[in-house]
Structure 1
Amino acid sequence: MSKVIEKAVEQLAAKLPNGFSSTAKFVITGEGAIICDPDGVRAGDDAADVTLTSDVDTFRGMLEGTVNPTMAFMTGKLKIDGAMGLAMQLGSALS
């Protein structure tokens, strides 16, 4: 597992201490994937209800609060596949 994924798992777990009500996957291009579900946050590439894909800088910015997830989506820096409502819930949790 890459250092980027390890750190991202830690940061997401802090933002989602009770996990996520559904199954979401964050794909960080060139690094790997993270799963958020009712069991918590972990590195993994399982099937998910929604998948959010971005590069490292965009993902880091969303976690740090310097990149707005909605704006990242609207400008093409964040791609969403699956349930848009779940993606919006995640965006709120990251803000």
Structure 2
Amino acid sequence: MVEDILRELQARSTSFRGLKANVRFAMEDDAVVRVDARETPVAIRREEDVSKNGAAEDADCTIRISAENLKKLMDGRLNPMLAFTMGKLKVDGSMGVAMKLAQLLDE
């Protein structure tokens, strides 16, 4: 499922240009997908082992969510605010970046 999410995010990469931030999606089994919209073109890649190289520190925002719920979020079947209030989505870092990302995913 993580590979499906990665492909879908890459297909939407142009919509992330206005984000101008570095966001990590941290999922179960230490799967991490990074969207770096500070680069042109937007870089979207999977990180294999961020715990050893400390890559989490340079993210503006880390979204902790299960792969299943992230897929639902991207498909429009899960409201980001509802997911946050129900604890299905946790935000570390900039809440402003997270809110802007939610708007972009909703388009």
Query: What TM bracket, shorter-length normalisation?
Result: 0.7 to 0.9
1:16, 1:93 within 8 Å by CA — same for their partners in 2?
A: no
- Of stretches 47-56 and 72-81 in structure 1, the one that deviates more from structure 2 is 47-56
Shift of 1:28: 1.3
User: What is residue 42 of structure 1 aligned with on the other side?
Assistant: 45
Question: Alignment length, in residue pairs?
Answer: 92
User: What is residue 9 of structure 1 aligned with on the other side?
Assistant: 6
Secondary structure, aligned partner of 1:80: strand
Matched, 1:62 2:73: yes
> After superposition, what is the alpha-carbon deviation per residue over 1:53-80, rounded to whole angstroms, capped at 9, x for unaligned?
1112211100111001111001100000
Q: Which runs of 5+ in 2 are unaligned?
A: none
User: What TM-score results when the alignment is normalised by the length of structure 2?
Assistant: 0.77
Rg larger for: 2
Quote the RMSD (CA, aligned, Å). Answer: 1.6
Q: Select the structure that is richer in helix.
A: 2
User: What TM-score results when the alignment is normalised by the length of structure 1?
Assistant: 0.86
